[in-house]
Amino acid sequence: MPLASIPTPLLDFLAGGLLQAGFGALLIWFLVATQLTIFSVTLYLHRSMAHRSVDFHPVLAHFFRFWTWLTTSMITREWAAIHRKHHAKCETEEDPHSPQIKGIKTVFWRGVELYREARGDRESIEKYGKGCPDDWIERHLYTPHATLGPTLLLFISFALFGFAGVAIWALQMAWIPFWAAGVVNGLGHWWGYRNFESADTSTNLTPWGVWIGGEELHNNHHAFPSSAKFALRKWEFDIGWATIRAMEKLRLAKVLRVAPTLDVRPNIAMPDGETLRALLAIRFQAMTDYYRNVTLPALRDNRDRLPRALRKGLADDGRWLDDAKRARLQAWLAERPKMATLAEYRQRLAQVLDDRSHDAQATLQRLQAWCAEAEASGIHALEAFSARLKGYALAPARG
């Protein structure tokens, strides 16, 4: 059909839909819609469903469910299960999306494919997906007709904005796969800074978690997975947490858990039960303190500079180094007795804190022995660290 023969009202509808919105209005709608999707993922799927750190009013919780169905086709139970498995099997062959195992390019660019593969593992979905919604609408609409949501959104977008709406819809469909599956799951275990020497490679992408709802603070989250608050330093900001606090004031949310904060008691002669409780709750903080207050000062005293990749190995016993680099690190330590001693003490402390025997008294005795030996080592930084470690205690953290 020649373009000139198409009625003008139809051409107007195809170009701008029912609303005939200008570029500014389209941009505002796009940003609002995509941020609503981000909030639905980080607040509901992630913090509420996967980690049970916050509860939302039933009406708000159902809005989040509806919005993720409409804009992503993701099923709550599957998303929560895959994420829980990621934490349980982090940086192993069973991790659904570890850059260390699958490669950064694969996770960054093919995150959606990895998610689909993880969905196919029904045994894991059953194992890790417990406690998620299983009501009538979940069983009869959201789960069996997951792709209906984005299809419906496509027709709505076209009706409201014409072909411009189709373009916006396409960008919406790519939003979560790129930012969540690619950036957070990929770069969040590859590049950035670390507040905590956690047992994985998680990083904080930026101290200001605004664009991805606070998910930028990924290392903080891995250190304290059950915390509803991701910003754990004074200079950090988590827009997701700010939103939760606002919802709390409106009685639309109830915070269940946040990360504990460290309190240091003075003049504690020996580690006690309170010390042990604090260390088991914030063991990553203790290992971070060891690296910053013991290992790094000793490194600065060495005349020869250790390459950055090997220096990171001193923070985690070389866990993520390849065989060649690990051998180089061991050779470097063998020539420097003091550094080798500090690395040995770090490894022993990590073993104490990672003890899963559930024998608190035995663990406490091992900790006391470690502190006694550290203070008799003749290494000032190690003695000072032990004296401070003995006073560790937990303080409630809110706000």
Average pLDDT of every residue of the chain = 91
Write the pLDDT tens digit of every residue in 35-49.
999 999 999 999 999
Whether residue 262 contacts residue 345, with contact meaning beta carbons closer than 8 Å, is answered with no
Assign residue 20 a region (left: φ > 0; alpha: ψ between -120 and 50; beta: otherwise).
Answer: left
Summarised one tens digit per residue, pLDDT across range 162-207 is 999 999 999 999 999 999 889 999 999 999 999 998 889 999 999 9
Q: What is the pLDDT of residue 12?
A: 64
pLDDT digits (tens, 9 = 90+) for 209-262: 999 999 999 999 999 999 999 999 999 999 999 999 999 999 999 999 999 989
SS3 17: coil
Pairing mode of beta strands 54-56, 261-264: unpaired
The three-state secondary structure class of 208 is strand
Other beta carbons within 10 angstroms of residue 2's beta carbon come to 5
What is the pLDDT at residue 15?
Answer: 72
Rounded to whole angstroms, the Cα distance separating 317 from 122 reads 35
Q: Is the pLDDT of residue 13 over 70?
A: no
End-to-end CA, the chain: 63
pTM: 0.90
**Cα dihedral across residues 144, 145, 147, 153: positive or negative:** negative
- The whole-number pLDDT of residue 323 equals 87
pLDDT tens digits, residue range 303-345? 667 887 788 888 888 888 888 988 999 999 999 899 999 999 9
| Beta strand segments in 54-156, E | 54-56
Task: For 111-161, write each residue's pLDDT tens digit.
Answer: 889 999 999 999 999 999 999 999 999 999 999 999 999 999 999 999 999
Q: What is the pLDDT at residue 360?
A: 87
Residue 292 has pLDDT above 50, yes or no: yes
b/e sequence 163-187, b meaning 16+ C-beta within 10 Å: ebbeebbeebbebbbbbbbbbbbbb
Residue with tokens 């609002």: 32
Q: What is the pLDDT of residues 363-375, one digit of tens each?
A: 999 999 999 999 9
Please state, in angstroms and rounded to a whole number, the distance separating the CA atoms of residues 81 and 89. 12
Q: Please report the pLDDT score of residue 21 as a whole number.
A: 86
Contact indicator for 256, 286 with CB cutoff of 8 Å: no
Q: How far is CA 112 from the centre of its chain?
A: 18
Residue 102: HSE in the Cβ half-sphere, 13 Å Cα cutoff: 25
> What are the angstrom distances between the C-alpha of 244 and each of 34, 50, 185, 238, 287?
18, 16, 23, 10, 30
> Got the DSSP string for 149-181?
HHHHHHHHHHHHHTHHHHHHHHHHHHHHIIIII
Q: Per DSSP, what are the bridge partners of residue 395?
A: 261
pLDDT of 3 strictly over 60:
no
Taking phi first (over 0 means left), then psi (-120 to 50 degrees means alpha), and beta for anything else, what does residue 121 get? beta
More confident residue, 48 or 359: 48
Mean pLDDT of 280-285: 88
Other beta carbons less than 10 A from residue 39's beta carbon: 18
SS3 236: coil
Rounded to whole angstroms, how far apart are CA atoms 162 and 11?
A: 10
**Which pLDDT band holds residue 399 (cuts at 50, 70, 90)?**
very low
**Is the alpha carbon torsion for 212, 217, 222, 227 positive or negative?**
negative
